Structure 1
Amino acid sequence: MITMRLISETLLEAPRRSNPIPNAAGTLAVYTQSTYSFRSQTEKKEIRVVNLSTGRSWCVTENPNARSPQWVSKSDQIIWLEWLESGNTDLMVDDAKGTITEIYKAGTVPGQAFDLKVTGQLPFREDNDNELAFAISGRANPDGSLVNPRQIAESTGHSTGRFYSTLPVRDECSYASELRNSIWYGYLRRGPEAGSRYSISGISNLMIFAGLEGLESPMSPLGGEESSREFEICPFAVVFITRDKEVNNATHTACSCYVQPVERWDQQNRDPIYPARRYRGLGGAISLVTVDKSDENRPIAFISQKRDGHTADKYRIMYIPLALFENVYEIFASADGNGLWDLSPCAISFGNNGTLLIQAEQNGRMMLYHLGLRDFERLRPAALSLVDPWGFGSITHVTPVRSDSSKILITQSSLVETPTWNIFNLAAPTESPKVLSASRPMDLGLSKAQVNSIWFDSSGNRRIHAWVIKPSKFDPQQRYPLAFFIHGGPHSAWNNQWSVQWNLALFAEHGFVIVAPNPAGSSGFGQAFKDSSQYSWGGLPYTDLERCFEYLQQKESLQYIDTARSVAVGIGYGGYMVNWIQGHELGRKFKALVTHDGIFSMTSQLASNRQHFINEIGGPIWETPGVGSGALVAFEIRLGEVLWEQVCMEWLGWSHRDRWRLMSIIRWMVVAMIHDFAVTENWVVFPIIPQVCDIERMKQGGEHWQWSPGTPLYLGVLPRHGAKSTDVKWFHYKNCFPGHTSNAYEDESENLIIDLGLSDKNVFFWWPDAQGNAPESSIHSQLVRFTIDPRSEDLQLGEPRVLQGDNSEFYRIDD
């Protein structure tokens, strides 16, 4: 085997596989695979089949528009969706073993379909594969028909303008639309003769059939693993989860699970014989539903949160022992309502003999448990059996190999191991898992020895976890720069599993030691720990990060980490935290700070996704005015207090009285533009352009910025370290236009020297003054030097020294 080095190209060119789906016999599994080539700049997409005994795999189709493969009931035939240029979708069929001479089309649905599901053993039908039911998801037009994206593009033309009068403006990764997701069902039939081919009936919108117009399911973006887990079908019903329409979904997470009986999959009657049964769960979000198709009673399980609007709440397992049964039971329920199990299951599925396979984050790993459901009303967490044959890494997916077998098909990975598929026998837990050769990990020269788990003390007698990842060619005699990674969320975690988006081993291979802490608010360490960041995004989490850095500095066994050469990297909430760190003492410990998708303004969040974050900050902005000083919530951080408080048009802060809350908007007398700034060893300088903003002018259709001839040039001077907002000094000069800064330093007399371009008139002709006067063509900008005594109480600036009188801009200092 050729060993490759882990670099960006090898990471991104590695095959990406979906989770495998075994056939009814447990001999084969179907999956999708995509592979990108940097050399050809192309992506190859396939539907493939793997033999679960030999590990050999082969391609069924390379059509890039093929997706969502499923087994045709108990057979070895595969059916999948194939998108057409017309915007419609074909249902294609082939034999996984290649016994059918050619792939054939079973029919076409009029629109773009996702998330195909197939079931057999229909009621009042013979128990064979000749008559089957299927369901798909998609976007619904106002009349309930399946959306054809080509027709939408033709009707909207080239306009991308959108107007919103209600929230949310965005939903996940796309702008919210009046079109809703929905589920359609249909019928597959073939003749009894050998070699007969399937054909489909028309499709029916389930929501219209059930009289449930206005509900949306799936709730997640279509075509992903999440949307596929939000509805299921069995021979006599469709089971789905949806947001409650009685509440505002922009600020609430309450969901219900519905079971809609379908007696005839080939009929489209408006009113079903049996109405849908609704299960409200515990009052909060519901994230997935699963049906035990091997049990004739078709038991149903789903996971539900209890607190509406609290996305950080733990999930609990809900069990319906008989489909359409009136009662739903909480597994591990307790008298106090907190639940007996402190972990939060993130995925569940039925195993053999009515057992549940449960995945949950735990101490920086994704763990797997299985649970027998006999006496389900009296179950305790002690009945859980841990499945951990590796003692390392994470189990990210599991499914039974066959409904009557104790063998399960596991997807396992770690921080240094690409995902592999393994067959493990629950009835023989001492046997090693069998890895399928089709998924063998790439040999990237990585090893488990690179990964260490550390725990350190923090405030309140809390123990905090972190991962340490070293380079593959680690030398304990050397010292390595530190890359300090802060995860998103805040209710997420760094787990010991492979990732393409944020691959910590990749950064380690570039010569860093990676430390990835799981501070307050992280998932997988109990509900109380997860809740501890509420109202305090910059409180306990910051303390934990600070203590982690101190631990790295002091721990003798970690002295190979050179904390004097360190960079902090934050993702999402971690990006927010990097901003927060910059305004605190910890920010002085890093040579560089990197923020990715970090929150910069909480008010702008109102125009983003669903507003579930308001429970994290104590309520809606307009209902929690608060008073007092605190950190600027333009990032909810002190960076704002240090640098921006007296410059930005409006800002929000936290109150420190009884708890962390948002405070009201404050307007500052100088609302103008910062086009550039300068930094010296001890000072930060902000030249303020006399372009002013006026809300009333904007309401009347005026420009955002307008040149103000009566406003002086301001140079804000602020201590670079440990400053408060009151420490800023606003030195001023006559009305003029400051260009880009060229240089800034402190001379021997501790005066502040700043060199920049200066023009006596407005340079931005696109923002004229109130009379519409644009700058003259003879406008002249020259390089000048201001000398400022930052300790002076006289804020009037003297005449600057002209360094370069020629008309010029965009200066640079030659090396």
Structure 2
Amino acid sequence: MRRLVVIAAVLMWVLPVLGQTKRPFTFQDMMSLKRVAEPVPSPDGKWVLFSAVDVSLEANTKTPHVWAVPAAGGEEREIITAQNADRPRWAPDGKRFLFLSTKEGGSQIWIADFDSSSGTVTGVHKLTSIATEADGPIWSPDGRNILFASNVYPECTDEACNQKKLDESAHTKIKALIFTHLLYRHWNGYKESTSRDLTPGDHDVPPFSLGGQDDYAFSPDGQEVCYTANLDEEEATSTNNDLFIVSVNGGLAKKITDNPASDSTPLYSSDGKYIAYRAQFRPGYESDRFRLMLYERKTGEKKNLTENFDRWVGTFTWAPDSKAIYFSSEDKGEAPVYRLNLPSGVPAELTRGYNDDLAITRDGKTLLFTRMSLLHPNEIYGQAIQEAGVERSANGMGWTAVTHLNDSILSHASMSPAEPFWFTGAENVKVEGFIVKPPNFDPNRKYPVKFLIHGGPQGAWGDDWSYRWNVELFAANGYVVVMINPRGSTGYGQKFVDDINGDWGGRAFEDLMKGLDYAESTYPFIDKDRECALGASYGGYMANWILGHTNRFKCIVSHDGMFNTESAWGTTEELWFNEWEFKGTPYNNRELYRKWSPHLSATSFKTPTLVIHGQLDYRLDVSEGFQLFTTVQRLKIPSKMLYFPDEGHWILKPQNSQLWYKTVNDWVDQWVGQSHR
């Protein structure tokens, strides 16, 4: 099946508790937190809707619910209690909002009637009953249409055909699939080869995404849709996403970008004159710099607004008067918010912290966004805006917390902030690292180290929250956590990112080792004889590389890591990634693949290793984990493998996550814990 866009007509921080004894943060604490999503301000500016996910460890479920909170701050209220509810979006009149729910017939669009005077829902009804389900809905500015995505069969032209195909698939005894082109599976699933399909053809519209801003938008008059699509013949080797516009009534779509690399996340200005979007310029490189672009609808002229801004543009939103764009961007372990005045302003930093999911009230007076840190997960914050920039609020920092859903739980936990440090890495380049101390830290003690290596490799550690690799949980049982952002990390300029291309075990490995050297020599409480290296994805690759290139660690944890670069190429789905990073294929540039393949250093392996992999990981096939485990077992190296038949690249199910943390922490304790003091 493929993904397409369709359209349907429609009639402050945690405050310490005085006298309270805090305890280390626990896995149960983490599962009790509500996972807050993006803010959605009401048209009248009085309310903010958002979804928050509740986790049940006992039921092994994650359930979203829709909440409302006064935009000026106040008590949050769950406003749809009879069913799960996600992704709320207002109707233009503010009297209704749509949301997604799986209550009946899978993921479908529902409508809630809203009383703005009381902030309550007065009724709900189901809107869609699509056999292939609905996702990502947005309401048109004129209130007449809803745009959403659905996974359909490319040969089908109507709902009846899709329903028939689904029924046949459900009842057949044959589960075999026939593939005729690449990208036949993606991330963690295979593609089986009274609404209007706006994007016909055998292509995913919008392209696959792991989250972030929508890849489609309505024009202000509600008569046009701009969407993202990759129409290249071989999608598995292409990052050539383009922007297309099409009438809401269907018809021939018009391509408005001609960049051979990625153009995505279109968003119309309120005055209808422009479409802002993000672009990368190097074909095949998913980690090229994301620029903020401007397309003038009348002339077709395109303008690069951030060519001199050496950071990636993240989530962005228009000011209601169309005179400025606000965006977030990673910078040195944070994601500040910037304002760019049009037509040719320079990005001005408004607030630091780790921010995302920007939205502005219709009157243009308040900027809303989510903020997280190492000490707390997402909450919604607000910031007063004035024409010249941003007002300062009473706290002197320009922002106020709008939601406080997790304050109570976190107030009982003893957690430590990330402390940054800088050192000289490979080729005398300055590199940043972070250290996190354990609860009840005693500077006169010696502590074992968990040395975390991030994935990507184009990613970064910073002052942000993670449920999958939670730093506070790693520190909670008496460990110092050290994290380095080596070459390839984001937030330090594009050259820093590019320095890992074709050099996976080179500069980055040297940066990591020099960073740990610096930490050992700078912080006397680190016990350098009790250190364990842990990494996932690229971090898993680097854990495997470390296994063959140093014996300084007492143990290693390798999660979803590349072990054999040649076999990884043949079993992955997004071939553009491997072919960019290793500058070709194994049959036309085998030397580079072999140069950086951890499996060829197996004769040097000595360190006890925990291998973790998921069967449904199609980014790095489970065979990579099996190859590593086979190798360390044959070498008689102490080792263990944690295998998840029902997980992909990420461990997402609550009980699986609990087992993951227990297995990882037990493994580290076994080799460097208190018994080894």
The amino acid that maps onto 2:454 is H
The match for 1:242 among 222, 229, 243 is 229
Partner of 1:394: 354
The amino acid that maps onto 1:285 is S
Partner of 2:368: 409
Q: Taking every aligned residue pair, what percent have the same amino acid on both sides? A: 22
**In the TM superposition, what is the alpha-carbon distance from 1:571 to its structure 2 partner?**
1.0
Partner of 1:306: 281
Give the secondary-structure state (helix, strand or coil) at the position aligned to 2:235.
coil
CA distance in 1 between counterparts of 2:524 and 2:111 reads 60
The answer to whether the aligner puts 1:596 opposite 2:556 as a matched pair is no
CA distance in 1 between counterparts of 2:86 and 2:211 reads 12
The match for 1:31 among 50, 61, 76 is 50
Partner of 2:26: 7
Does the 8 A contact of 2:47 with 2:119 survive in 1? no
The change in CA–CA distance for 1:536 and 1:216 in structure 2 (over 3 A counts) is same
**In the TM superposition, what is the alpha-carbon distance from 1:630 to its structure 2 partner?**
6.4
CA distance in 2 between counterparts of 1:49 and 1:679 reads 57
**In the TM superposition, what is the alpha-carbon distance from 1:75 to its structure 2 partner?**
1.7
Q: CA RMSD in A?
A: 2.9
Partner of 1:609: 573
Does the 8 A contact of 1:45 with 1:63 survive in 2? no
**In the TM superposition, what is the alpha-carbon distance from 1:434 to its structure 2 partner?**
1.8
**In the TM superposition, what is the alpha-carbon distance from 1:642 to its structure 2 partner?**
3.7
Partner of 1:367: 336
The amino acid that maps onto 1:396 is D
Does the 8 A contact of 1:471 with 1:510 survive in 2? yes
Does the 8 A contact of 1:89 with 1:111 survive in 2? no
The match for 2:311 among 343, 353, 358 is 343
**Residues matched between the structures, number:** 579
CA distance in 2 between counterparts of 1:214 and 1:307 reads 25
Task: Kindly report which structure 2 residues correspond to 1:307-326, keeping only aligned pairs within 5 A, or say none.
Answer: 307-322=282-297, 325-326=299-300
Q: Deviations over 1:130-162 (max 9, x none)?
A: x52211110122223358689626435354433
The match for 1:207 among 179, 199, 215 is 199
Give the secondary-structure state (helix, strand or coil) at the position aligned to 1:491.
coil
User: Greater relative contact order: 1 or 2 (C-alpha under 8 angstroms, separation 6 or more)?
Assistant: 2
CA distance in 2 between counterparts of 1:40 and 1:84 reads 17
Task: Kindly report which structure 2 residues correspond to 1:180-219, keeping only aligned pairs within 5 A, or say none.
Answer: 202-208=194-200, 213-219=201-207
**In the TM superposition, what is the alpha-carbon distance from 1:454 to its structure 2 partner?**
0.5
The amino acid that maps onto 2:545 is W
Partner of 1:666: none
Does the 8 A contact of 2:268 with 2:275 survive in 1? yes
The match for 2:402 among 428, 433, 436 is 436
Does the 8 A contact of 2:141 with 2:218 survive in 1? no
The answer to whether the aligner puts 1:230 opposite 2:204 as a matched pair is no
CA distance in 2 between counterparts of 1:568 and 1:74 reads 54
The change in CA–CA distance for 1:582 and 1:109 in structure 2 (over 3 A counts) is closer
The change in CA–CA distance for 1:438 and 1:675 in structure 2 (over 3 A counts) is closer
Does the 8 A contact of 1:11 with 1:500 survive in 2? yes
CA distance in 2 between counterparts of 1:617 and 1:526 reads 21
Does the 8 A contact of 1:170 with 1:610 survive in 2? no
More helix by share: 2
The answer to whether the aligner puts 1:621 opposite 2:608 as a matched pair is no
CA distance in 2 between counterparts of 1:242 and 1:50 reads 36
The amino acid that maps onto 1:506 is L
CA distance in 1 between counterparts of 2:367 and 2:305 reads 23
Partner of 1:384: 347
**In the TM superposition, what is the alpha-carbon distance from 1:610 to its structure 2 partner?**
1.1
The amino acid that maps onto 1:605 is W
CA distance in 1 between counterparts of 2:168 and 2:104 reads 13
CA distance in 2 between counterparts of 1:539 and 1:107 reads 53
Give the secondary-structure state (helix, strand or coil) at the position aligned to 1:363.
coil
The change in CA–CA distance for 1:444 and 1:601 in structure 2 (over 3 A counts) is farther
The change in CA–CA distance for 1:177 and 1:306 in structure 2 (over 3 A counts) is farther
Larger-gyration structure (1/2): 1
The answer to whether the aligner puts 1:486 opposite 2:453 as a matched pair is yes
The answer to whether the aligner puts 1:331 opposite 2:319 as a matched pair is no
Does the 8 A contact of 1:83 with 1:112 survive in 2? no
The amino acid that maps onto 1:552 is A
Does the 8 A contact of 2:454 with 2:539 survive in 1? yes
CA distance in 2 between counterparts of 1:624 and 1:106 reads 53
The match for 1:252 among 226, 238, 248 is 238
The amino acid that maps onto 1:417 is H
Does the 8 A contact of 1:316 with 1:330 survive in 2? yes
Q: Deviations over 1:643-676 (max 9, x none)?
A: 69xxxxxxxxxxxxxxxxxxxxxxxxxxxx9895
Give the secondary-structure state (helix, strand or coil) at the position aligned to 1:241.
strand
Task: Kindly report which structure 2 residues correspond to 1:698-709, keeping only aligned pairs within 5 A, or say none.
Answer: none
Task: Kindly report which structure 2 residues correspond to 1:367-766, keeping only aligned pairs within 5 A, or say none.
Answer: 367-374=336-343, 376=344, 379=345, 383-388=346-351, 391=352, 393-400=353-360, 402-427=361-386, 428-431=390-393, 432=395, 433-439=399-405, 441=407, 442-444=409-411, 450-555=417-522, 558-585=523-550, 588-602=551-565, 603-612=567-576, 613-626=578-591, 631=595, 633=597, 635=598, 638-640=600-602, 642=604, 677=634, 679=636
The amino acid that maps onto 1:132 is R
The amino acid that maps onto 2:205 is S
Give the secondary-structure state (helix, strand or coil) at the position aligned to 1:103.
strand
The answer to whether the aligner puts 1:286 opposite 2:263 as a matched pair is yes
Give the secondary-structure state (helix, strand or coil) at the position aligned to 1:589.
coil
CA distance in 2 between counterparts of 1:71 and 1:205 reads 23
Gaps in structure 1 of 5+ consecutive residues: 122-130, 179-201, 333-338, 645-672, 685-815
Partner of 1:112: 133
Does the 8 A contact of 2:373 with 2:463 survive in 1? yes
Does the 8 A contact of 1:55 with 1:438 survive in 2? no
Partner of 1:132: 144
CA distance in 1 between counterparts of 2:414 and 2:489 reads 26
The change in CA–CA distance for 1:615 and 1:350 in structure 2 (over 3 A counts) is same
Q: Deviations over 1:182-217 (max 9, x none)?
A: xxxxxxxxxxxxxxxxxxxx4211024xxxx34431
| TM-score, normalisation: structure 2 | 0.79
